[in-house]
Structure 1
Amino acid sequence: MKQYEANRILNIALAGHSGAGKTSLTEAMLYLSGATDRLGKVDDGTTVSDFDPEEIRRKTSVMAATAPLEWKNYKINLLDAPGLFDFAGGLCEAVRAADSVLITVSGKDGVNVGTEKAVAAAEKRGLSKIFFVNGLCEESADFYKVFENLKASFGPSVCPVVVPYIRDGKANIYVNVLEYKAYEYRDGKAVNVKMPDMGTRLDGLRTAIYEAVAETSDEMFEKYFSGEQFTPEEVIVGISKGVKAGTVSPVFCGDAMLLNGIDQLLDGLTWLAPTAADKSSEIGEDENGNPVELSADPNAPAAALVFKTVADPFIGKLSYLKVFSGKVSADTQLVNMRTGETERIGKTVVMRGKKQIDVPYIGAGDIGVVPKLQSAKTGDTLCSSARKVKLEGVDYPNPNLSMAVLPKKKGEEDKVSQGIARLEEEDPTIHFRTNSETHQMILSGLGEQHLDVITAKLKKKFGVEVVLEKPRVAYRETIRKKVQMQGKYKKQTGGHGQYGDVWIEFEPCDSETLEFSERVVGGAVPKNFFPAVEKGLRESVQCGPLAGYPVVGLRATLYDGSYHPVDSSEMSFKVAANLAYKAAMPQASPVLLEPIGHLKCTVPGANMGDVMGEINKRRGRVLGMEPVDKGNQVIEAEVPEAEMHDFSTFLRQTTQGRGDFTFEFVRYEEAPQQVAQKVIEEAKARQESEE
């Protein structure tokens, strides 16, 4: 593949709602540009960007893929991002490496939650937005309804560029309203035809264009509202500048399956979308935290960001780079700003789906891949030692659905944790940990489908099968009453015997650990045995009397006892302390404590009643509500952790994916009697099954 300068490189993320046709659109652009020699289909599992076995099986994208093509002396790096919310990490990666976002919208379904999320992702990074209304040859597709939907949702900056002319119910003629030219598509090929009579609709489209141009500057705004006409040149220049600045969002349309309108989209991208040179003012930080502005200068010291990682046991590790400055070529040495270590570049390639194409270097503004970087992770900055700079990493969503992972075969726990650690490298939205209290391996992801894909990849890539189950909650136990209890351990053997005798007072206190003290008088228990008594108690409180959970809020005071000058030992007093604990706890009114967390939930105003009702149903206490932007409400509440397991699934279904939440542990509270009883019964059943 030919090398291009930054002013001839377009980095474009394809985003939108699942099923809108992003992968089909990628395939159509690759085929029409000659980058591929056949038009792959998602249903057949033959597309370039959906190459992972899970994507082929599910017929949907689960990770971001790169697919470069060449069109009219421009290089276009397409970054096909997943539309399903469970794989939002792929959208975050694509948007971080892109300079503009091509948002695919279904010609049947119009603006959807995925459309809104794609627009929000672009706006968050200040990227240009371009809409493509897809599938216009399908029945019930209605471009003009979708266009009005786009304007109503995203404002007057939405500007028509290519629109269909419907004849006999079919959208085979496409009109470029800026050039004022019409094209008919026959078997995917465009033929210039006479401009059709669009009647009053053309006036409405021109009004939409003028409104969008008026948004580009105060001068244009005043001219438009004073009733003056824009000249054709002002319209063309205004839209071009507006798209690059992000103040105008052009709308193209067509049908990716039939190749209708794809050539006009590619032409429009090369004309309107900002190049890597246009978007080159990336701000990083030097070693002292001072801002450093990088430009897409091929002769400057190199600086690149690892925006995606593929960790495959067969093809090895691949680090996807966006080069912001300089060049990255074989045999160069770059500093990893996270580790401080030097990374040696072996070779450089570009990826078209899973196909590797060797290139001599990855230039400023371009996207490429470096294989076999051992310590580099997603989000790392690789730069020249001549100018050390750290770039902003990838901003991922937090996983909020957690499940316990159990290997199907006993003894494969290490295999599971090693496999998930490799998958974490390529998908940082996976979180994995071992709960030290419940001794369960906990896997967290963005949703049920996400966790399902992880388990499928574990089996295919690493040969280990697992089952997922609801994770156990780390409860606590405490007491409500003061008691005094003796613990006496006496054992006679052939030689020395064992003797330890203690009287301990147990009482509730406000502490997360055991508070131990002594008030022994007259040497009833020698001082050298005090540590043994404390040790025995600290080990004992790890297992509470009700369900075996750790005991908190307990003060133990050693106040009396006796010893034997020969038979007493540290072990004897440790056992005696344990006996006193076991005898005292059932008499001290033990209670079960459950963890309570602080829930902060952002939902559309229309769903607020349903969500608040659900929080109450889950034994939560609503603390307050506060309106935020775009008609959303923030609900704050305190909810028992045991009730939050599937809250993410409920919230996604109720809000169609618009809602999100955070949940953080706050404190422990006494569990209601019926809850405590159920937990105690489950703990006993578990203990019996283990025995």
Structure 2
Amino acid sequence: QEETVEPDPDAPPVALVFKVLMENGRKLSFLRLYAGRIREGDSLRNVAQKSDDRVGRIFRLHADRREQLESASAGEIAAVVGLRAAHTGETYAARGRELALESIGACAPVLTLALEPRNADEGKTLDEALARYVEEDPTIQVSLDDDSGTRMLSGMGELHLDVLLERMRREYGISPRAGQPQVVLRETVRKEAEAEAVFDKELGRERHQGAVSLRVVPLPRHAGNQVRVGDFLPADPQEARKLLPPALLQAALDGVRDGLQSGELTGWPVVDVAVTLTNVERREGLTTAPGCHMAAGQALREALSRAAPVALEPIMKVEINVPDDFLGPAISLLNTAGGKVEELENHAGRKLLRGTAPLRRLFGFSTSLRSATQGRAGLMLTFDRFDLP
């Protein structure tokens, strides 16, 4: 249900966290207050995480200067110390008025960079820096390759990652070895397919067994994933529980959802598919939840491989602001990068060119554009969607 939040300073407080900054190990949360008033020592509820935090000091920021406040009220922006669980886009409210304000959406990263510390000491500092940047920026993701010890840093583009590397050098005095940027992919399927799998192995001195059949169907682009149960169970809930206990059915569903995180073609997450469980067989005394989980994952991998899997690349919106004399070279460069011109308009005596292009073809594009236009062109790249190039 939607509810309008009136900017009443006397109402219970409701605030949105729009930025988080880590300073000397302490979290500074930037709040926009939409209603109510907060004071030092107040207890606020993190609506997303269902946890309570206590407001510490409150500041009003003036560029590089801070003014400490006793309170902040509706309509104001304040920086607050003490909200330990805060993340960008989360709502803090008074207990009893747990409204969730419209969150700040964060796009999925589209570019990944492998980082390797030069020594063990630098590795600890690198992990500390990456943990801080992830806390501050929701568009950053970090993972660790257990086999090689490489840190995989994912962001929104070349400039985004370059800025992070420069911040590491300035703020932490480290310069880890960086690999070549790799484009983040997604995977989907082009046709319907079915598969079944039987898992029957002894794990940890216990025998686990499961048998699962399922069907994979492609969905329209950007529809997301659907995981559902077919009509193989009786309509009566009690009869369905007797035939297949809920724990076994849930294990099979979890096996499918986990399997969608890594496709057969690329190893990247699978999107825009509908997976329907057509049967989960139960053998009295043999079938176990881990067995159903493993069988579902095996059946999904087999079905995906039969369903003509295809890789989806990040497609970027490209906006070029260029003088009339250099319009031709700018269009030529965009076409060379596999881009499509969608709109062209006059803007303050210059040309504004809008289009789309696959990200993997845009490496070094800004440098080439500056060279071709004598540095007089402006470029803006924005993530649009994952799609076929």
TM over 0.5: yes
User: Among residues 566, 575, 593, which one is paired with 2:294 in the alignment?
Assistant: 575
> Identity rate of aligned residues, in percent?
22
Task: State the alpha-carbon separation in 2 of the partners of residues 386 and 341 from structure 1.
Answer: 6
- The residue aligned with 1:621 is 340
What SS does the corresponding residue of 2:385 show, helix, strand or coil? strand
Structure number with larger C-alpha Rg: 1
Q: CA deviation at 1:667?
A: 2.0
- The residue aligned with 1:532 is 251
Compared CA separation, residues 532 and 464, structure 1 to 2 (3 A): same
Compared CA separation, residues 649 and 420, structure 1 to 2 (3 A): farther
User: Among residues 404, 408, 418, which one is paired with 2:113 in the alignment?
Assistant: 404
Kindly provide the CA deviation profile for residues 133-154 of structure 1, in whole angstroms up to 9, marking residues without a partner as x.
xxxxxxxxxxxxxxxxxxxxxx
Task: State the alpha-carbon separation in 2 of the partners of residues 654 and 562 from structure 1.
Answer: 64
1:474 and 2:184 aligned: yes
- The residue aligned with 1:434 is 141
- The residue aligned with 2:94 is none
- The residue aligned with 1:457 is 170
- The residue aligned with 2:356 is 638
- The residue aligned with 2:227 is 515
- The residue aligned with 1:686 is none
Task: State the alpha-carbon separation in 1 of the partners of residues 215 and 138 from structure 2.
Answer: 43
Task: State the alpha-carbon separation in 1 of the partners of residues 139 and 273 from structure 2.
Answer: 32
1:485 and 2:195 aligned: yes
Q: CA deviation at 1:416?
A: 2.8
CA contact (8 A) 2:192 2:307 kept: yes
Compared CA separation, residues 381 and 562, structure 1 to 2 (3 A): same
- The residue aligned with 2:92 is none
Compared CA separation, residues 467 and 497, structure 1 to 2 (3 A): closer
Task: State the alpha-carbon separation in 1 of the partners of residues 204 and 163 from structure 2.
Answer: 64
CA contact (8 A) 1:502 1:580 kept: yes
Q: Which has the higher contact order (CA 8 A, sep 6+)?
A: 2
- The residue aligned with 1:660 is 378
Amino acid of the structure 1 residue aligned with 2:372: T
Kindly provide the CA deviation profile for residues 613-662 of structure 1, in whole angstroms up to 9, marking residues without a partner as x.
11111111110101101x21111101112222322222333334332232
- The residue aligned with 2:17 is none
Q: CA deviation at 1:413?
A: 5.0
Amino acid of the structure 2 residue aligned with 1:498: H
Compared CA separation, residues 493 and 536, structure 1 to 2 (3 A): closer
Answer 1 or 2: which has greater strand percent. Answer: 2
Pairwise CA RMSD: 4.5
User: Among residues 593, 607, 626, which one is paired with 2:312 in the alignment?
Assistant: 593
CA contact (8 A) 1:546 1:591 kept: yes
Compared CA separation, residues 552 and 664, structure 1 to 2 (3 A): same
Q: CA deviation at 1:557?
A: 1.3
Compared CA separation, residues 379 and 435, structure 1 to 2 (3 A): farther
Task: State the alpha-carbon separation in 1 of the partners of residues 259 and 166 from structure 2.
Answer: 42
Compared CA separation, residues 378 and 520, structure 1 to 2 (3 A): farther
Could you tell me which runs of 5 or more consecutive residues in structure 2 were left unpaired when the two chains were aligned. 1-6, 10-22, 25-29, 41-56, 78-110, 146-150, 235-239
- Is the deviation greater in 552-561 or in 589-598? 552-561
What SS does the corresponding residue of 2:140 show, helix, strand or coil? strand
Matches within 5 A, 1:160-179: none
What SS does the corresponding residue of 1:497 show, helix, strand or coil? strand
Could you tell me which runs of 5 or more consecutive residues in structure 1 were left unpaired when the two chains were aligned. 1-286, 290-310, 314-335, 343-372, 392-401, 672-691
Q: CA deviation at 1:549?
A: 0.9
CA contact (8 A) 1:620 1:640 kept: yes
CA contact (8 A) 2:143 2:153 kept: no
Kindly provide the CA deviation profile for residues 262-284 of structure 1, in whole angstroms up to 9, marking residues without a partner as x.
xxxxxxxxxxxxxxxxxxxxxxx
Task: State the alpha-carbon separation in 2 of the partners of residues 562 and 665 from structure 1.
Answer: 44
Task: State the alpha-carbon separation in 2 of the partners of residues 497 and 375 from structure 1.
Answer: 60
Amino acid of the structure 1 residue aligned with 2:183: V
Task: State the alpha-carbon separation in 2 of the partners of residues 466 and 376 from structure 1.
Answer: 36
Work out the number of aligned pairs and report it.
Answer: 294
Compared CA separation, residues 421 and 649, structure 1 to 2 (3 A): farther
Task: State the alpha-carbon separation in 1 of the partners of residues 158 and 200 from structure 2.
Answer: 54
Kindly provide the CA deviation profile for residues 438-467 of structure 1, in whole angstroms up to 9, marking residues without a partner as x.
973257786999788656535xxx342313
What SS does the corresponding residue of 2:187 show, helix, strand or coil? strand
Task: State the alpha-carbon separation in 1 of the partners of residues 144 and 311 from structure 2.
Answer: 15
Q: CA deviation at 1:665?
A: 2.1
Task: State the alpha-carbon separation in 1 of the partners of residues 360 and 313 from structure 2.
Answer: 8
CA contact (8 A) 2:189 2:304 kept: yes
- The residue aligned with 1:648 is 366
TM-score, normalised via structure 1 length? 0.36
1:541 and 2:260 aligned: yes
Kindly provide the CA deviation profile for residues 336-384 of structure 1, in whole angstroms up to 9, marking residues without a partner as x.
9989889xxxxxxxxxxxxxxxxxxxxxxxxxxxxxx998877467458
User: Among residues 209, 215, 218, which one is paired with 1:505 in the alignment?
Assistant: 215
Amino acid of the structure 2 residue aligned with 1:457: R
What SS does the corresponding residue of 1:650 show, helix, strand or coil? helix
Compared CA separation, residues 519 and 615, structure 1 to 2 (3 A): same
Task: State the alpha-carbon separation in 2 of the partners of residues 494 and 457 from structure 1.
Answer: 49
Task: State the alpha-carbon separation in 2 of the partners of residues 490 and 547 from structure 1.
Answer: 28
Task: State the alpha-carbon separation in 2 of the partners of residues 573 and 421 from structure 1.
Answer: 36
Q: CA deviation at 1:435?
A: 5.1
Kindly provide the CA deviation profile for residues 547-600 of structure 1, in whole angstroms up to 9, marking residues without a partner as x.
201111221111224211111111111111011112222211111111212112
Compared CA separation, residues 464 and 407, structure 1 to 2 (3 A): farther
Q: CA deviation at 1:533?
A: 0.8
- Is the deviation greater in 407-416 or in 595-604? 407-416
Compared CA separation, residues 485 and 376, structure 1 to 2 (3 A): same
CA contact (8 A) 1:624 1:636 kept: yes
CA contact (8 A) 1:597 1:666 kept: yes
CA contact (8 A) 2:320 2:352 kept: yes
- The residue aligned with 1:194 is none
